[in-house]
Chains A and B, each alone.
Chain A
């Protein structure tokens, strides 16, 4: 299960990104880029309520 870490807009690439913990309990995160804020929010909403045990 993926856990949300952070989300922001990258001025240089003009894309939104989301960092997620995809190998918990490792604190390493994977960054995924999205062309639009709306696309990023689809993934955000899908993981924001996930809570590590």
Chain B
């Protein structure tokens, strides 16, 4: 089964909007078109698929076999056509990104072949409020921006010295530089790290020589670690995470990350929005969750502000 798409102008949970095309990324809309309203599309398992859909018409698909054919599609087929002849694949993808065409690229060796192109296999979409991925063009392909592609539509802007994209262990990631960060300035309240929540990070670990904050929601009138969440990366290569404040802030940590390797760390917490003790757990690389949380607060937390990565 290919990805399901349909005409639409507003992204709903579990979908990604591109022009007037809604793409199902939750995998729950598969079924006959008559029953679900979704078109089940054909997808090239190793290469590009370009899709166009309009109201009251069937979808159209093109499957260019290589970069040259993508450029040829842009120059000869796309309507409206580019203002000048496209001569590189980067120009072609930038042109298509601003068009009503939606583009898939699949590589069955390195990326999932069972979900929307570029999205990790088995990524749970239900309840996902924010998803940033340096691997996905739609997320990290614009200089100075990092776009949430969960369907929630959050936009992160670059501050400080811009982080550069670099290839580490075969995957693309943003390289920390002790200055730059991305911050979401709008709709950040939709990412509630004060309630029941899970934070998953994929990080390439080097020898950490200075303590830094890797994820936080900016404090509202106080430090971030006293409200919804702040996560710091310690020189022990472990993460510390903090929340709440009264009468004292909560604290927890994870085990150390493995150096010179990609690590997936997941931190989940129960709600801190009541007087009940908050609980916290972490998992490294998909292992069972380990309880680790020193709950010292007996007071519901106050909501924080912007999301920073």
Footprint of B on A, CB under 8 Å?
A: 4-8, 27, 29, 44-45, 48-49
- CB distance A6 to B251 under 8 Å? yes
Tell whether, in the assembled complex, residue B235 and residue A45 are in contact, meaning their CB atoms are under 8 Å apart.
Answer: yes
Known pairs A6-B225, A29-B248. 16 more at Cβ < 8 A?
A: A4-B234, A4-B240, A5-B240, A6-B242, A6-B249, A7-B211, A8-B223, A8-B225, A27-B251, A27-B294, A44-B211, A44-B235, A48-B234, A48-B235, A48-B236, A49-B236
CB distance from B229 to the nearest CB of A (A): 13
Who on chain A is nearest to B255 by CB?
A51
Report the Cα distance A43→B234, complex, angstroms: 14
Give complex CA distance A48, B211 in Å. Answer: 10
Which residues of B pack against A, CB within 8 Å? 211, 223, 225, 234-236, 240, 242, 248-249, 251, 294-296
Give the secondary structure class of A's interface: mixed
Q: How far is the CA of A27 from the CA of B244 in the complex (A)?
A: 15
17 interchain pairs, CB-CB under 8 A = A4-B234, A5-B240, A5-B251, A6-B240, A6-B242, A6-B249, A7-B211, A8-B225, A27-B295, A27-B296, A29-B248, A44-B235, A45-B235, A48-B234, A48-B235, A48-B236, A49-B236
Provide the residues of chain A in CB contact with B242, threshold 8 Å: 6
CB-CB under 8 A from B249, the residues of chain A are 6
Of all chain B residues, the one with the shortest Cβ separation from A49 is B236
Q: Which residues of A contact B234 (CB under 8 A)?
A: 4, 48
Q: How distant is the Cα of A8 from the Cα of B249 in the complex, in angstroms?
A: 13
Q: In the assembled complex, how far is the CB of residue B221 from the closest CB belonging to chain A, in whole angstroms?
A: 13
Q: How far is the CB of B181 from chain A (nearest CB, A)?
A: 17
Complex Cα–Cα for A48 and B239 (A): 11
Specify which chain B residues have a CB less than 8 angstroms from the CB of A27 in the assembled complex. 251, 294-296
Assembly CA distance A39 to B248 (angstroms): 25
Question: What residues of chain B lie closer than 8 Å to A7, measured between beta carbons?
Answer: 211
- Chain A residues contacting B296 (CB-CB under 8 Å) are 27
CB distance from B280 to the nearest CB of A (A): 13
- Considering the chains assembled together, what is the distance between the CA atoms of A53 and B294 in angstroms? 14
Closest CB in chain B relative to A38 CB, distance in Å? 12
Residue of A nearest to B210 (CB): A41
Q: For the complex, what is the distance from the CA of A29 to the CA of B294, rounded to whole Å?
A: 11
